[in-house]
Structure 1
Amino acid sequence: MWLLFASLAAISFGLRGILYHWSSKQGMDRNLMLFGVFFTGAIASLIGSFMFGQNWTASALTGLFMGAFSFIANACMFQGFAVGKPSLIAILTGLPPVVVVTLAYVLWGETLSLGQLAAFIFIIAGILTVRYSNDLRIGNLQGAQWGLLAMVFFGLNDMAGKMSTRLEAELFPTLFYMFTIGSLCFATWWLIDKNNKRKARLKGTYAPPAEQGKWNEKRTFFSGMAIGLTNFFGMILIITAFKFGITGLVSAVVAMNVLLILLYTRVFVKEKFRRLEVIGMFICIIGMIALRIF
């Protein structure tokens, strides 16, 4: 059962990644768009909590950590892409399941059977192969610190999600706290950035991208809210998967959402698959089959 929920979460987050990629090509203000993404989650979670009569217990406050970790991880990832090597950052942001497996073992004594461990290794190896770039060299590690921080905090975000299930926190109140913290953080980041851009325009040192003109603040925010539905449903599915499955395995399966994004770039963006990408996809599939068997 957990494998089904984790696989559906991977699909949902893959769709989210596709829409993120699309929005990045439209000239949208990233922080305002992400504010909209998290705002949708907060509103939908609040409605869900009242519809299903869920209790607002102290354990639901784990959502505050989920929101903070998610924001920090995204901020580090964006900073890494801005100052570092995209291939390196992509590889590091594919490694949170390793952090999750390690912490789950240390904190809760979760272990994997030999078959599950083999499946986990196959999935991680496949993800890394897909994200590998031939121009990555030991002497070319700009932004590695940001990638490592993103990896750790994405892992901590998964751990906080699992913790909420161990504490038997109600789903929607937990997600409400998570999305509310994320909304506030991205809104603050957007306002700070907006103020800095305003000052730069007054000094004549900033010119907005040409394509940004058609994406005013209102349109950008509501587009983010629409994209936020994929994030909202993805979070419901991954928390449910955490409830029934082993933490590290769930995290590894969900990380395979990169395969859906890769297919999108092949079909719609017309990017050709590299040999390593095809090999990585097959390795991931082998890992999924192994999980099904073991």
Structure 2
Amino acid sequence: MWLVLSLLAATSFGLRGILYHWTSQQALNRNALLCGVFFSGALITLVCTLATGSAFTVSSLIGVQMGLLSFGANASMFKGFAVGKASIVAILTALPSAIVVVVAFAVWGETLNMAQLSSFIIIIAGILLVRYSNDITRGNLQGAQWGLLAMLLFAGNDLSGKWSTLMDAPLFPTLVCMFSSGSICFGLWWLRDMRSMRFDALEAGQAAQEIAAGSAAMEVTPANAGITGVTSNGNVTQNANPTAAAEAKAGNSAGLVIKRSWSFRRTFSVGMAVGITNAVGMMFIVTAFDVGKAGLVSAVTALNVLIVLLYTRFVVKERFSKLETIGISAAFAGILLMRLYGS
């Protein structure tokens, strides 16, 4: 049963990854999007809490820890992608299940039989081959520290999910706490972004005024023969300075970019739609942690990267490399072995 739930979680998170891939191509604020994702999860799980009559308990506060870890993991991952090599960050964020296996054994005494351990190794090897297929050199480790931090935080999130089941924390109230805390964190980060954008816009506006004032004060030189210049009211005449015209054109182009950017309402609404897949995935994975071993559940759920890869192959029309093909085959072979011998 845990394997089915883990695969359903992987499918949900894979759909989330596809939607993340699509939204990453749009002109939007990522923190506003993720705020919507977590806010949607909070609403969905709150409705489920009220519908099932589940009560909030002290143990459900573990969800706050899960939300903070999820926020930190996503923030670290995005930071790593921004300042370093995407490949090394992606490789590190594929390894949380290895940490989960070690910690689950040390803290809760969870052990794997030989078939489960073999299947686990094959799945992890397949995921790493898929991740490692991107161009990367041994000396190119920019962003590795952020990828390492993201890996640790993602592992902590999985372990917290397992801990919540061991503490008999109610599922839906725990997830309400998780999504609410994550939504608040991303919301505060978005507000910080807006404050920074307003400050930059203010500085840009002041610079534009200085440029306009300088252009209006320019005098026509003999080198500009045939150029009428700028009238007393600041309007550019027919034969105006080409430099000023170019600056005006650049300003218009910048304005078009701003107009094409997604509004907060649209970004937040799309984030709420994406949040449905995230909320469903969390319901499946926490339930899987309740009936299965943490390391195995974490490893199978990490296969969501393969779903995203299949999307890029058949929808985006990207070709598979040899390493990607081998990695996909190994990962699916590991699932089959786990299904046959890993009970």
Provide the TM-score with structure 2 as the length reference.
Answer: 0.83
Residue 54 (1) aligns with residue 54 (2): yes
Contact 1:65/1:178, CA 8 A, preserved across alignment: yes
Displacement after TM superposition at 1:208 (Å): 8.5
Structure with max Cα Rg: 2
Residue 314 (structure 2) aligns with: 267
Residue 88 (1) aligns with residue 68 (2): no
- Partner of residue 327 from structure 2, selected from 252, 273, 280: 280
Residue 31 (structure 1) aligns with: 31
Residue 148 (structure 1) aligns with: 148
Residue 76 (structure 2) aligns with: 76
Contact 1:98/1:248, CA 8 A, preserved across alignment: yes
Identity %: 55
Residue 244 (structure 1) aligns with: 291
Residue aligned with 1:5, SS = helix
Provide the TM-score with structure 1 as the length reference.
Answer: 0.97
Residue 157 (structure 1) aligns with: 157
> For the aligned residues, what is the CA RMSD?
1.5
Q: Could you report, residue by residue, the CA deviation over 1:256-290 in whole angstroms, capped at 9, with x for unpaired residues? A: 00000001111111111111101000000110011
- Say how many residue pairs are matched: 294
Contact 2:89/2:147, CA 8 A, preserved across alignment: yes
Residue 117 (structure 2) aligns with: 117
Contact 1:27/1:212, CA 8 A, preserved across alignment: no
Contact 1:27/1:211, CA 8 A, preserved across alignment: no
Displacement after TM superposition at 1:45 (Å): 1.1
Residue 278 (structure 2) aligns with: 231
Q: For 1:143 and 1:235, locate their aligned partners in 2 and report how far apart those are by CA, in whole Å.
A: 28
Q: For 2:122 and 2:164, locate their aligned partners in 1 and report how far apart those are by CA, in whole Å.
A: 28
Q: Could you report, residue by residue, the CA deviation over 1:136-163 in whole angstroms, capped at 9, with x for unpaired residues? A: 2221101110000000000000000000
Gaps of at least 5 residues in structure 2 are 208-253
Gaps of at least 5 residues in structure 1 are none
Displacement after TM superposition at 1:134 (Å): 5.4
Displacement after TM superposition at 1:202 (Å): 1.6
Residue 169 (1) aligns with residue 216 (2): no
Residue 221 (1) aligns with residue 263 (2): no
What amino acid sits opposite 1:26 in the alignment? Q
Displacement after TM superposition at 1:103 (Å): 0.8
Displacement after TM superposition at 1:210 (Å): 2.8
Q: For 1:173 and 1:109, locate their aligned partners in 2 and report how far apart those are by CA, in whole Å.
A: 27
